[in-house]
Structure 1
Amino acid sequence: MKKLLPIILIGIMMSSCQKEVRTDYIIEGTAKDVYNGIRVYLNELDQRGRPVPVDTAIVLNGSFTFNGKVPYPKLYFLTMNGSPGRIPLMIENTKMTLDVDKKILSNSILSGSDSHDLLHEFNTTLNKIKEDLNTVSKNYSDAQFLRDSVNMKSDKVVLEKLQEKLANYPFDFIEEHSNSNTVLEIFQSQLRVANADYPKIKTLFDNLDQSVKITQKGITIKSIIEQTIAKIEAQKNTAIGAIAPPFSAPDPEGKELAISEVYSKGKITIIDFWAAWCGPCRRENPNLVKIYDQYHDKGLEIIGVSLDGRRGQQNPKEAWIKAIEDDKLTWNHVSNLTYFDKIAQSYNVNAIPAMFILDDKGAIIAKNLRGKALELKVAELLN
């Protein structure tokens, strides 16, 4: 029995050292020298990046408290009346303490959240790389000004290494911490980077822990990645010289018509994405009628792809056919009557009117022309 007693005591001590498991969070804040009654806000960012308060606390005797629940560790931003700026906080269901610096909110310290510690580690390292990069960039510029070839050469080597380090660090960090919800915030920042490497981003996302991917934020990021990759592919598929993506859709009589059936009949073919509800499209139609009447006998074909079927249209097919008749559009027409459908997506069409000119083999030879520019291009190709 005497031998068992130390083992029991050790077990009790070990269990008491484990982090408390909670299903809610509590943030105990201290705000030194802040007047009673000052309001503190916990905010989420909306789709435009604007803060939206989700909870409010009032400072009393230098203290305030937030209580709540999160489905998974989430990023919030704390603001306080009378203090500029905001504090990023990774909140998770645990007990946390927050020491607020009212003069410089960014100097405030949150303790108790592993997710927040991880985000802080990432930002600290990232900022250090940026500082080093700025220093070396200045040194390189100074060496260029002084025509110091020796330092120019050495600074350039360091500069290139730091640039590579800066580009790779977010990806390396995500890969190292693939089981943490914190990396979703880093993913989101990478999605805003110009010319982001989306295939690499997708691979990293696919390798995340399943528990991270199935969160609402994970699902949203996955959707953005997939939509952006599809858009990139569509841009490649509709570049000048590319073979136009194939498609077929019902004509006004319900018969399927393929784009290949149209461009094979003429020397050039205009694909015109439009809709009965689209004012700019309807204003462009007289110009198209004029061009078609003038050049159809010389080998011009047109196929109108209607994007009617948007929410609120009472009878999309009726509106489509009436617009064809009213505007005297005597060429080929097709529509799935489902607004910006798969055809529009495959051509990376996000706004209408949008036009593509194909040769008799289906290769794209011009696009995004309207008015006089379209007329001149058709004349150049057929005269």
Structure 2
Amino acid sequence: MKKFLLFASVAAFAVSCNDSLKENEFLVSGTIDTIYNGKQVFLKEAPKERMAQPVALDTAVVENGKFTFRGMAETPQERFLFIEGEEKNAPIRFFAEEGNITINVNKDTIYNSTVTGTFNNEVLAKYNKLNNEVSKKGQELSQEYTKASQSQDAEAVKKIEEQFEAFSDEMYTKFKAFIEENPTAEISIQAFPSLLRSQEATYEELKAIFDKLPQSSKDSDLGKKISEYLEKKKQADAAKSATSVGKQVPDFAAPTPEGKMLSVKEAMGKVTIIDLWASWCGPCRKENPNVVAMYNELHGKGLNILGVSLDEDGDKWKQAIAADKLTWQHISNLKGWDEPIAKQFGVNSIPATLVLDANGVIVARDLRGDELKAKVEELLAK
């Protein structure tokens, strides 16, 4: 069993930072604005389960703008510091591990306090800086997108969507480099989920990065969840490869809203779009008016659409079809992300589209807007 013993000092640096430390011993030396003199500092254990509350471990009192914690940790342990009166703010995160750890509390933004002195805390500081930069950029783009959407500026929306794609690639590159530069750091496993946001990253790429992490990280709860995700990613990539451009569309069938079975072969036209969507998917519903306009214009020339829903609630599925005036054919097994047709095509995000020619050959994947219409018109003109 891992041991973690703590004892706090209420005196200002009762033990000097220069005192020699025993094996696995750590000393946290904190400085904080003197307005907090007499306030308590709470040391808490990071929760092991999502939504759980941190577990209290020890308490120190601020004297002369200083506080200390001293204890033992056989392995690096993620910990939080809460300042009395500031509990509503995000806590200070650090790793309790052998060595002298210095914490300079930022009274204006507590969670941005500086933690230095040991390997994992130095790397954590780099991660926090990177994460703050990425979060700030993401928030700025989101605000711009909302503003453009509300003003119905289609050109601005398209431009920001392109910026989002470039930002996603940039974020993937930066977090990938961070993990590869710090594979043994405790925080690296927590940085890994940022890579999973990329729609372009393959299983092989992600698995190669994951394999560089220590076994202890892989065996953690988060590591196990990532392993499960990667296995699903492996299967999805294989399915996507089997249904890539140039391949014959595999046969499939599912119930219509009326409960009758309908196959893809029965729904095909001169050009066929397989449209994977769901009533709960905001981007899907936003795109529907464009698809409706294209269908109304080109259906008479040979365009058919087969909607495949990732809904689970049949009533909401039917209501969305009626509300968005989706007059083409629809099917769904009502299994959400377990929809077998989505798995058959390796689809892990929606909206997603496949364009088929008259022979059922896949000629394009994941086109939207003007690009989708241009491809359909090109095929109808042949």
1:350 matched to 2:349 = yes
How far did 1:201 drift? Answer: 4.8
1:303 to 288, 302, 306: 306
1:90 to 95, 101, 118: 95
1:37 matched to 2:38 = yes
Aligned equivalents of 1:168, 1:375: Cα separation in 2: 38
1:382 matched to 2:380 = yes
How far did 1:238 drift? Answer: 6.7
Instruction: Check whether the contact 1:41–1:53 (CA below 8 A) recurs between aligned residues.
Output: no
RMSD over aligned CA atoms reads 5.3
Instruction: Check whether the contact 2:189–2:217 (CA below 8 A) recurs between aligned residues.
Output: no
Aligned residue for 1:37, secondary structure, equals: coil
1:26 matched to 2:3 = no
Instruction: Check whether the contact 1:276–1:319 (CA below 8 A) recurs between aligned residues.
Output: yes
2:190 to 177, 188, 191: 188
1:208-287 superposed matches below 5 A:
212-226=217-231, 241-243=245-247, 246=250, 248-252=252-256, 254=259, 256-259=261-264, 261-262=265-266, 266-276=269-279, 279-280=285-286, 283-284=289-290, 286-287=292-293
- 1:349/1:282 Cα in 2 relative to 1: closer, same or farther (>3 Å)? same
Name the count of aligned residue pairs: 288
Letter in 2 for 1:333: H
How far did 1:357 drift? Answer: 1.5
How far did 1:75 drift? Answer: 2.9
1:313-332 superposed matches below 5 A:
313=313, 316=314, 318-321=315-318, 331-332=328-329
Aligned equivalents of 2:375, 2:178: Cα separation in 1: 47
How far did 1:365 drift? Answer: 3.0
Aligned residue for 1:243, secondary structure, equals: coil
- 1:201/1:100 Cα in 2 relative to 1: closer, same or farther (>3 Å)? same
- 1:209/1:124 Cα in 2 relative to 1: closer, same or farther (>3 Å)? closer
Instruction: Check whether the contact 2:101–2:115 (CA below 8 A) recurs between aligned residues.
Output: no
- 1:199/1:377 Cα in 2 relative to 1: closer, same or farther (>3 Å)? closer
Aligned residue for 2:379, secondary structure, equals: helix
Match of 2:333?
336
- 1:97/1:275 Cα in 2 relative to 1: closer, same or farther (>3 Å)? closer
Instruction: Check whether the contact 2:272–2:305 (CA below 8 A) recurs between aligned residues.
Output: yes
Aligned equivalents of 2:73, 2:260: Cα separation in 1: 55
Aligned equivalents of 1:206, 1:40: Cα separation in 2: 38
1:199 matched to 2:196 = no
Letter in 2 for 1:379: E
1:146-161 superposed matches below 5 A:
none
User: Given the two structures, how large is their TM-score scaled by the length of structure 2?
Assistant: 0.53
- 1:64/1:227 Cα in 2 relative to 1: closer, same or farther (>3 Å)? farther
How far did 1:367 drift? Answer: 3.9
- 1:69/1:308 Cα in 2 relative to 1: closer, same or farther (>3 Å)? farther
Aligned residue for 1:357, secondary structure, equals: strand
Match of 1:135?
none
Instruction: Check whether the contact 2:79–2:94 (CA below 8 A) recurs between aligned residues.
Output: yes
**Percent identity over paired residues:** 27
How far did 1:305 drift? Answer: 0.8
- 1:67/1:249 Cα in 2 relative to 1: closer, same or farther (>3 Å)? farther
Instruction: Check whether the contact 1:237–1:245 (CA below 8 A) recurs between aligned residues.
Output: no
Question: Structure 2 regions of 5+ residues with no counterpart?
Answer: 9-27, 48-52, 107-111, 128-175
User: Given the two structures, how large is their TM-score scaled by the length of structure 1?
Assistant: 0.53
Instruction: Check whether the contact 1:34–1:59 (CA below 8 A) recurs between aligned residues.
Output: no
Letter in 1 for 2:120: L
Letter in 2 for 1:214: D
Question: Structure 1 regions of 5+ residues with no counterpart?
Answer: 1-20, 47-51, 110-116, 127-166
- 1:212/1:378 Cα in 2 relative to 1: closer, same or farther (>3 Å)? closer
Letter in 2 for 1:215: S
Aligned equivalents of 1:196, 1:270: Cα separation in 2: 25
Aligned equivalents of 1:215, 1:45: Cα separation in 2: 13
How far did 1:303 drift? Answer: 1.4
Match of 1:132?
none
- 1:282/1:31 Cα in 2 relative to 1: closer, same or farther (>3 Å)? closer
1:294 matched to 2:304 = no
- 1:266/1:283 Cα in 2 relative to 1: closer, same or farther (>3 Å)? closer
1:63 matched to 2:64 = no
